[in-house]
């Protein structure tokens, strides 16, 4: 036990003295606020652009003061002109749609494209509002209560969790935590194995009267602690960035990006479990390399392998099942969707953690066997 603690202290001391390890531990998590706020800004801009644009409407007739008031409320930009001029303006994309009036019929003119389609939906609201105004006005002039036009009321109550953009950005924020942990694990794992092999310090360490198991567990725990710190910093920054996004962008005004405290506690447990898993795998892969550069090259694909399953699952709307819970990496990516939707399946969670323990056990056993035979020095 003392030997294990001594190896762990040595690993932590070297890691926290190494500027590159510290920079990866601290700087990589700060990419999360940039990504979350950056994506939120792009989403918000796109939605607002569609709301503000595509409202340049041409009219081939003079609008009444009531019509202008309705258009103003819908933020419609009015262009009154003759039909030929409006047609040219439309072709030159100066207006998104133009309306021609023939007797008591209003004809919306344009082509089948995005701007015209959106402008048409805006004008549908415009004409419905104007129609209701005229109906109420006519009924009032006849002394009839215009409330008969509204025999019932409709209220919309949509669950806040159903917002597409909020689910999207929250899921990706948690996937970025996985990526941050993976990236920050690769360097210390490489340095403590292939790096020590290059410097000759690994050979010296193996000559000490210390069990191979204690050496591996010390290195494993050292890399894991570094990864856990990165994960926890990432989680804190994720919470802060989601809070800022929630209160800064119009896109999220009707939703709550923040999760219950219990959800963040569960995410913390997942961070610890995933950090142990990825640290073991990184050490196993890096131990097979002869040089530091070779280890880095071998570990580079791991970042994509751990992140892309989550992206594909999000795009294809794949749900976590007991079978998928057994698949490393994919299970951690999918569990975040359950957390966001506050749907916890104890079977899926147990399968995920059992899978993690089994994989870590197998990986550590293989590495310990390598170090016992000292093959690791010559591979």
Find residue 102's DSSP bridge partners. 105
Q: What is the pLDDT of residues 361-373, one digit of tens each?
A: 999 988 888 777 6
Question: In whole numbers, what is the pLDDT of the chain averaged over residues?
Answer: 83
Phi-psi region of 116 (alpha: psi -120 to 50; beta: other; left: phi over 0): alpha
Is the pTM for the entire model greater than 0.85? Answer: no
Task: Report residue 314 as tokens.
Answer: 């999000």
Q: What is the pLDDT of residues 107-157, one digit of tens each?
A: 999 988 878 888 898 899 999 999 888 888 888 877 776 666 555 454 544
The domain spans of the chain are 2-45+160-377, 53-149
Quick check: 123 and 107 in contact, CB under 8 A?
Answer: no
Task: Report residue 217 as tokens.
Answer: 């567990």
Do the strands 105-109 and 77-80 form a parallel or antiparallel pair, or are they unpaired?
Answer: unpaired
Task: Report residue 64 as tokens.
Answer: 């009444």
Q: 117, 136, 122, 132: which is closest to 74 by C-alpha?
A: 122
Q: Quickly name the fold that domain 53-149 has.
A: D-Maltodextrin-Binding Protein; domain 2 (3.40.190)
Q: What is the pLDDT of residues 32-57, one digit of tens each?
A: 899 889 888 887 777 666 555 678 89
Q: What is the pLDDT of residues 295-310, one digit of tens each?
A: 888 888 887 888 777 7
DSSP secondary-structure letter at 60?
S
For residue 297, the number of C-alpha atoms closer than 13 Å in the C-beta half-sphere is 7
Task: Report residue 77 as tokens.
Answer: 């930009």
pLDDT for 52: 58
Give the position of tokens 């933020």: 75
Q: What is the pLDDT of residues 347-361, one digit of tens each?
A: 999 999 999 999 999
Q: 363, 370, 14, 9: which is closest to 199 by C-alpha?
A: 14
pLDDT for 159: 44
SS3 assignment, position 156: coil
Confidence bin at 374 (pLDDT 50/70/90):
low
Which stretch of 19-23, 77-81, 102-106, 214-218 has the lowest confidence by average pLDDT? Answer: 19-23
């Amino acid at each position: 036990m003392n030997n294990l603690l001594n190896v762990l202290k040595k690993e932590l001391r070297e890691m926290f003295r190494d500027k590159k390890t510290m920079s990866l531990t601290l700087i990589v998590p700060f990419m999360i606020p940039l990504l979350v706020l950056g994506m939120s800004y792009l989403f918000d801009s796109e939605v607002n652009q569609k709301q503000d644009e595509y409202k340049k409407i041409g009219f081939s007739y003079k609008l009444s003061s009531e019509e202008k008031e309705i258009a103003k409320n819908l933020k419609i930009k009015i262009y009154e002109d003759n039909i030929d001029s409006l047609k040219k303006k439309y072709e030159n994309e100066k207006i998104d749609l133009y309306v021609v009036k023939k007797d008591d019929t209003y004809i919306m003119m344009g082509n089948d494209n995005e701007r015209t389609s959106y402008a048409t939906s805006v004008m549908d609201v415009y004409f419905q509002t104007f129609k209701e105004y005229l109906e109420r006005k006519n009924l009032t002039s006849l002394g009839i209560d215009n409330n008969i036009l509204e025999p019932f009321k409709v209220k919309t109550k949509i669950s806040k969790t159903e917002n597409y953009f909020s689910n999207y950005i929250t899921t990706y924020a948690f996937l970025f935590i996985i990526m941050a942990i993976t990236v920050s694990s690769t360097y210390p794992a490489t340095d403590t194995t292939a790096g020590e092999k290059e410097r000759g310090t690994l050979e010296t360490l193996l000559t000490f009267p210390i069990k191979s198991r204690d050496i591996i567990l010390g290195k494993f725990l050292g890399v894991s602690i570094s990864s856990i710190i990165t994960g926890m910093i990432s989680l804190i920054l994720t919470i802060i960035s989601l809070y800022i996004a929630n209160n800064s962008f119009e896109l999220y005004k009707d939703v709550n990006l923040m999760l219950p405290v219990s959800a963040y506690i569960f995410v913390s447990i997942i961070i610890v479990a995933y950090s142990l898993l990825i640290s073991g795998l990184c050490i196993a892969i890096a131990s097979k390399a002869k040089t530091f550069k070779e280890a880095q090259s071998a570990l580079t694909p791991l970042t994509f392998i751990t992140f892309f399953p989550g992206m594909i699952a999000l795009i294809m709307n794949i749900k976590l099942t007991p079978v998928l819970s057994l698949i490393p990496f994919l299970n951690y990516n999918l569990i975040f969707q359950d957390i966001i939707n506050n749907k916890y399946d104890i079977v899926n969670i147990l399968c995920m953690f059992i899978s993690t323990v089994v994989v870590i056990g197998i990986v550590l056993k293989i590495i310990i066997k390598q170090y016992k035979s000292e093959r690791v020095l010559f591979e």
